[in-house]
Amino acid sequence: MWREDNPLISLSKSGAAHQAPPMLAPSTFLQGPYRFVLHYIVGRPWQFGALLLTVVAAAGCAVAVQYVMKLLVDGMAGPREASAAVWSALVLFVTLIACESILWRITAWLVCRTTLSVGVEMRLDLFGFLNGQPMRYFADNLAGSLGQRLTATAGNFGALTNTVAWRILPPCIEFVGALVVFLTVDWRMMVVLAVFVTAVTGGLIWFGERGRPLHRTYAGHAGTVAGDLVDVITNMWAVKSFSARTREAQRLARGFREEARAQGRSWLYLEKARALHDVALCAMAGSMLSWAVYLWSLGDITPGDVVVLSALTFRILNSSRDLALSLVETTQFVGYIEDTLRVIAQPQSVVDVPDARPLAPRGGSVEFRDVSFSYGDTRSDTVHRLNLLIPAGQKVGIVGPSGAGKSTLIHLLQRLYDVHSGEILIDGQHLTGVGQDSLRAALAVVPQEITLFHRTLMENIRFACPEASDEEVYAAARAACCDSFIRATPDGYDTLVGERGMKLSGGQRQRIGIARAFLKDAPIIILDEATSALDTESEMEIQRSLVRLMRGRTVIAVAHRLSTLTAFDRIVVVKGGEIVEDGTAAELRQRGGLFDTMWRLQAEGLSVDEAAETVP
pLDDT, tens digit, for every residue of 109-150?
Answer: 998 888 888 888 888 888 888 887 777 777 777 677 788 788
User: Do residues 152 and 283 share a domain?
Assistant: yes
pLDDT in tens, 471-498: 999 988 888 888 888 898 888 889 888 7
Could you tell me if 39 and 29 are in contact, meaning their C-beta atoms sit under 8 angstroms apart?
yes
Give Cβ neighbours of residue 76 (< 8 Å, ≥ 6 apart): 86
Q: What is the CATH number of the domain that holds 503?
A: 3.40.50.300
Residue 600 in any domain: the answer is no
Q: Which backbone phi and psi does 170 adopt, to 5 degrees?
A: -55, -45
CA geometry: angle 557, 566, 362, nearest 5 deg: 45
Q: What is the CATH number of the domain that holds 211?
A: 1.20.1560.10
Residue 473 in any domain: the answer is yes
Measured distance CA(520)–CA(199) in Å, rounded = 67
- Residue 4: pLDDT band with limits 50, 70, 90: very low
The secondary structure of 344-406, three-state, reads HCCCECCCCCCCCECCCCCCCCEEEEEEEECCCCCCCCCEEEEEEEECCCCEEEEECCCCCCH
Buried b (16+ CB within 10 A) or exposed e, 407-421: bbbbbbbbbbbbbeb
Residue 602 in any domain: the answer is no
**Listing from the earlier edge strand, what are the strands of the sheet with 366-373?**
383-390, 366-373, 421-426, 429-430
Average of per-residue pLDDT across 385-407: 87
Q: What percent of the chain has pLDDT over 90?
A: 5
| pLDDT confidence of residue 18 | 37
What's the pTM? 0.65
Residue 5, class by beta-carbon neighbours within 10 Å (0-12 exposed, 13-18 middle, 19+ buried)?
exposed
Q: Which domain holds residue 288?
A: 28-344
Measured distance CA(588)–CA(582) in Å, rounded = 7
Chain-centroid distance, C-alpha 212: 23
User: Do residues 491 and 364 share a domain?
Assistant: no
Instruction: Return the DSSP state at 259.
Output: H
User: Do residues 419 and 459 share a domain?
Assistant: no
Q: Which amino acid is at 554?
A: T
**Half-sphere CA count of 220, side-chain side, radius 13 A:** 11
Domain end residue (candidates: 276, 311, 344): 344
User: Do residues 173 and 238 share a domain?
Assistant: yes
